[in-house]
Amino acid sequence: KAGVTQTPRYLIKTRGQQVTLSCSPISGHRSVSWYQQTPGQGLQFLFEYFSETQRNKGNFPGRFSGRQFSNSRSEMNVSTLELGDSALYLCASSLLPGLDTDTQYFGPGTRLTVL
């Protein structure tokens, strides 16, 4: 069974631009979460989607948004990029939230560099 896939793997943008990252969960998984990893702040939760609905949101500004499609694939968008948005963005999928099978499996991440 294929794992979580994220595209693109690497991205370079300039300040003020916007970016869209994509995540395809493990087949059959319906919950997708996004995390930001930086050397200074560590791993921080961005948001979680299940059945195309955002169920949970972390403490990030409104420039960070996301969505989930009917096939469970998810995208996250960052508008008006700032230098501090440079990070590894990780996507994780789980089978269903709220059950013992709630273990999250992570993709390899998208490395975003903002110049």
State the residues that interact with other proteins by CB under 8 A: 4, 6, 31, 33, 35, 42-43, 45, 48, 50, 55-56, 58, 88, 90, 92, 94, 97-100, 102-109
Q: DSSP states of 47-101 as a string?
A: EEEETTEEEEE-S--TTEEEEE-TTS-EEEEE-S--GGG-EEEEEEEES-TTSTT
| Alpha carbon of residue 29 to chain centroid | 15
In the bound complex, what is the minimum distance in angstroms from residue 7's beta carbon to other proteins? 13
Nearer to other proteins, 65 or 105 (CB): 105
| Encoded tokens for 47 | 């948001």
CA atoms within 13 A on the CB side of 47: 21
Nearer to other proteins, 43 or 115 (CB): 43
In the bound complex, what is the minimum distance in angstroms from residue 15's beta carbon to other proteins? 26
In the bound complex, what is the minimum distance in angstroms from residue 17's beta carbon to other proteins? 24
Nearer to other proteins, 16 or 108 (CB): 108
